[in-house]
Amino acid sequence: YHNSTHAADVVQAMHYNIRENKLMSFLDDEEKMASILSAACHDLDHPGVNQNFLIHTSNPLAQLYHNTSVLENHHYRSTLSLLRE
Q: Is 42 annotated as a binding residue?
A: yes
Alpha carbon distance 83, 10 (integer Å): 19
Distance CA 52, CA 24 (A): 38
CB atoms within 10 A of CB 38: 14
Q: Is 15 annotated as a binding residue?
A: no
- Catalytic: 74? no
- Sign, Cα dihedral of 57, 7, 83, 29: negative
- Catalytic residue (choose from 2, 15, 56, 74): 2
* 43 annotated binding-site participant: yes
Binding residues for Zn(2+): 6, 42-43
* Bind-site residues: 6, 42-43
- Known catalytic residues are 2
